[in-house]
Chain A
Amino acid sequence: MIDIGAPRSYDPAAPRRITDQPVSPPLLEVRNLFKTYPGATPVTAVDGVSLVVPEGVCFGLLGPNGAGKTTTIEIMEGILGSSSGDVFFRGEPIGRRFKEEAGILFQKTALQDFLTVRQSLTLFRGLYSHGLDVDEVIKLCALEKLEKRDTRKLSGGQQQRLLLAIALVNDPTLIFLDEPTTGLDPQARRNFWELVQSIKARRKTIILTTHYMEEAELLCDEIAIMDRGRVIAQGTPRALLREHFDEVLLELPRQEFPEAARGLPLKVIEASDRVEITTNDLDGTLRTLMDAHVPLKDLRIRPPNLEDLFLELTGKELRA
């Protein structure tokens, strides 16, 4: 079972279970985080977020643009201060040790001008007390052919691979990837996913924000869905889908769904270009649609995915 709503939390002061195994705190824990940007009309970007990230998982923070993902992850990274709330790394407030052990890929980063790929990596490698050999990182992120290139002359995908390499240069235990594939073409995106999977294979803990559901489904072991600064669901993707759907989904182009059919006794969600009907009685639903003379030649039947889950939870499309 998964728990939704009240998040699990590590409390060092709480009585511990007596077991043979020592109780180790989670790798990262966020407790009751708030962030308000002041102004004439103050904006609350993070509104009471609590999360627990166990060691060795790929944790996805999902949500549409403006949901508060980047603000949350930047507070977790120690880059941005919170209005209130705490972040713990291995049970301790984040500090210098955290910076040594964390690797970060921001949504947007500029590197120092006039440096090559290798020089940039050497610069960042020099900022950590220990880490991987620059040659090893170059190989890991498939940058061999680019190592002498000026970083300003890299393509979007190459740039992201370099930024990932920089995030890995200290051989981190915890890696933050903030929307790493936004703006990449499909091929570059697939290449990047392969890289992330190879990092996962090294048993690293990854925290990933994305608004691409396929990315989350492919890479994440556990997800938290955010909307308007709050976590509205948290768990493994499969468990969340099982929790919210025991049905299948019927998809129809919006223009083929007549006004008259809107009064039918069906569970209909309208997206921008299509309508989605969720049902656990496929035969009955199809019959109802045929009786209402709804054209079915473009009908698609599929199991629900995270995109549907988000739509179900918020009534909004993820990429809207």
Chain B
Amino acid sequence: MIKRLLAVWHARNLEFIRDRSTMIFVLFLPIALIVGMSFVFGGKERPLFKVGVLAQAVAPAAHPFLRERFIDFVAVPKEADAVHKVARHSLDLLIDVNPPVRYWVNPSSPKGYIVEKLLLQADPSAHRQPVSGDAVRYVDWLFPGILGMNLMFGCIFGVGYVVLRYRKTGFLKRLHATPLTAFEFLTAQVLSRLGLTALVTTMLYTGISTLIHFHSAGNLLLLFVLMLLGSLSMIALGLTVAARFSSEEMVGGLLNLLTWPMMLLSGVWFSLEGSPEWIQWVAKLFPLTHLLDAARAIMLDGAGLETIGGDLIYLAVTAVAFLAFGAWSFRWRVE
């Protein structure tokens, strides 16, 4: 038994070593993840909380609270913008250290609650200010993120693995013998998945919003159009990976490479407020970032087409670009 086991083990090792693309990828992903994480949560100590300071720059000497550890202090010059960020959970707390010391906190934010305790310990005289406008519950802020993440995984993995399986079994090769073109085949896959995603997301939206008593501030039809365009872009993105490769390891790895950074950097779980500017710029490349920014704007702020039009255009353009690239690089058979 050991002999057989060793023989299989050896053969698998050889296969892995010879499959260079997979090997490079397997080595690359953890490095990319580590590098990515270190930038997002960079520094010696990973801050747990994000506090806005009403100033052009943060000066720790200005107030004892600004010397607390594990808090990321971000300078925010404009009061109105900063208060809005507190309401939208982009900042856990906002402080103005010029006497009399004032602070703003979202009463529904769990992190805000803890940071407030720390602040009052450092300075019991600080005055709490009302958060103007609707303070959004944390769960409301998270809701679009969860919907978006689910949509992203469904779209990218759903089509990616199906096309890979078709190629491996030879079904794609059989289709190639017919007049069907790559673009037709891919479009059919996209549309099939789009219908499914629309159905599932609508069901999830209805179910969860009933459960948490959520009411969208904006137009639901606009939200639906946004969801369709976001799904289209991400399905097409999944197809660009599945268009060519025949190795499960390779495709699985590449799909992970696409989804993980999106999950971390698109604002599903936490805001990128205060992250280095270039990280925020990279995040803006991801379709999920545009989908979530626009979804939050509609659902929480009641934004209309004029506000999220740019995001819609970005999603539509990337969908067409990914699909065109997928059709161009498409392979019908195992090379």
Please report A residues at the B interface, Cβ cutoff 8 Å. 77-79, 96, 99-100, 102, 104, 106, 108-112, 124, 127-129, 166, 170
Contact = CB atoms under 8 A, between A and B. Distances in A.
Contacts of B174: 104, 106, 109-111, 166
Contacts of A99: 177-179
Q: Which of B170, B171, B173, B179 has the most CB of A within 10 A?
A: B179
Contacts, number: 42
A109 B177 CA distance: 11
B179 A129 contact: yes
Contacts of A96: 179
Contacts of A110: 169-171, 174
Contacts of B177: 77-79, 99, 102, 104, 106
Interface in B143-202: 166, 169-171, 173-180
Interface in B251-298: none
Secondary structure type dominating chain A contacts: loop
A126 to B, nearest CB: 9
Contacts of B170: 106, 108-110
Given A96-B179, A127-B180, 16 more contacts: A77-B177, A78-B177, A99-B177, A102-B177, A106-B173, A106-B174, A106-B177, A110-B169, A111-B171, A112-B171, A127-B175, A127-B178, A127-B179, A128-B178, A128-B179, A166-B174
B84 interface: no
A192 to B, nearest CB: 18
Chain B interface residue count: which class? 10 to 19
26 contacts: A77-B177, A79-B173, A79-B332, A79-B333, A96-B179, A99-B178, A102-B177, A104-B174, A104-B177, A106-B174, A108-B170, A109-B170, A109-B173, A109-B174, A110-B171, A110-B174, A111-B174, A112-B166, A112-B171, A124-B178, A127-B175, A127-B179, A127-B180, A128-B178, A166-B174, A170-B178
Interface string B12-26: 000000000000000
Closest 8 CB pairs of A and B: A110-B169, A127-B178, A104-B177, A99-B179, A109-B174, A110-B171, A127-B180, A110-B170
Contacts of B180: 127
A108 B173 CA distance: 10
A297 to B, nearest CB: 48
Contacts of B332: 79
Contacts of A79: 173, 176-177, 332-333
A104 B175 CA distance: 10
Nearest to A77: B177
Nearest to A109: B174
A10 B180 CA distance: 30
Contacts of A129: 179
Contacts of B179: 96, 99-100, 127-129
A96 B175 CA distance: 13
Nearest to A112: B171
B121 to A, nearest CB: 62
Q: Which of A102, A127, A166 has the most CB of B within 10 A?
A: A127
Interface string B312-334: 00000000000000000000110
A264 to B, nearest CB: 49
A109 B173 CA distance: 8
A18 B174 CA distance: 43
A100 B177 CA distance: 9
A204 B193 CA distance: 40
A77 B175 CA distance: 12
A60 B171 CA distance: 25
A124 B166 CA distance: 15
A112 B176 CA distance: 14
Nearest to A101: B179
A105 to B, nearest CB: 9
Contacts of B173: 79, 106, 109
Nearest to B168: A110
Nearest to A100: B179
Contacts of B166: 112
